[in-house]
Amino acid sequence: MTEQTLPPDLSTLAARRGSTQIELSDDGSSYRCVRVFGASPDRVFRAFTDPADLRVWFPSGAPPDSEMTVCESDPVDGGRYHYAMVIPEHGPMAWHGRYTRVDRPDRLDADEWFVMGDADPTGPPTAQTLTFEPTGDGFTRMTMQVNMPEPEDPETFMEQSAAGLTTSLTTMDELVST
């Protein structure tokens, strides 16, 4: 793990707003988000795993009147998490996860199944790895790597909406930019 000095422009919350970098892999099978947060790795790790914290930030970006109906998380090796939301005009959706590696506060791996509606999770999961690196300034650089199971799996295309991001954005970007 390399200690890096923060650029001065990321030292305030206002400056960090919108600074999340999202990169899609060339083949559309994975994406990576990188973001600096203004707290220690331990604090950030906790925000990703503590239900009370998750309820604060996870619903952000959802349409108005969306409701987080389930928020459970048991951050131990093999532990489960389950988030559910009801989104106006889309109905219920749920994220079912299993923590596959928990190294507090450095790293958190999980398999995740996203489902629309009330269905049980099926099929191969996405594999997610979160790493939390101290920046040397008391902040944390978080990297979220998400690997999709079958980028061309058509049947679950609509249902894996987050997954659809990777395969489809890549395709659509290519299509609209030419």
Partner 1 sequence: MSNTDLVLEAVAEPNRRRLLQLLHQRKESTVSELVDASGLRQPQVSKHLKALAGAALVSARADGRHRRYRLDGRGLQAAHDWFGSFEDVWHARFDALDELVSTDPDPDRPEEHLP
**Length of the chain as a residue count:** 178
Convert residues 39-68 into a mask of x (bound to partner 1 by CB under 8 A) and - (unbound): xx--xx-xxx-xxxx--xxx-xxx------
Ramachandran bin of 168, using left for φ above 0, alpha for ψ from -120 to 50, beta for the remaining angles: alpha
User: Minimal distance in Å, beta carbon 124 to partner 1?
Assistant: 17
Q: Is the peptide bond before 105 cis (omega within 30 degrees of 0)?
A: yes
Q: How many residues bind partner 1 (CB under 8 A)?
A: 49
165 binds partner 1 (CB under 8 A): yes
Minimum distance between the CB of residue 95 and partner 1, rounded to whole angstroms?
12
- Distance from the Cα of residue 5 to its chain's centroid: 25
CA–centroid distance for 28 within its chain: 16
- Note whether 142 and 21 are within 8 A (CB): no
Instruction: Answer yes or no: are the C-beta atoms of 73 and 54 closer than 8 Å.
Output: yes
Query: Smallest distance, Å, CB 31 to partner 1?
Result: 9
164 contributes a contact to partner 1 by CB under 8 A? yes
Strands (E), the chain: 21-24, 30-37, 67-73, 80-87, 91-103, 107-116, 126-134, 140-147
Which one, 127 or 169, has the nearer CB to partner 1?
169
Given a contact cutoff of 8 angstroms between Cβ atoms, the answer to whether 165 and 143 are in contact is no
By the rule CB under 8 A, 134 interacts with partner 1: no
121/124 Cα distance (integer angstroms): 9
Is 86 a residue that touches partner 1 (CB under 8 A)? no
Measured from the CB atom, the residue of 118 and 138 that comes closer to partner 1 is 138
When asked if residue 15 is in the footprint of partner 1 (CB under 8 A), the reply is no
Work out how close the CB of 156 gets to partner 1 at its nearest, in angstroms, rounded to a whole number.
10
Does position 18 interact with partner 1 (CB under 8 A)? The reply is: yes
**In the complex, which residues of this chain contact partner 1 (CB under 8 A)?**
13, 16-18, 20, 22, 33, 35, 37-40, 43-44, 46-48, 50-53, 56-58, 60-62, 72-74, 142, 152, 154-155, 157-158, 161-162, 164-165, 168-169, 171-176, 178
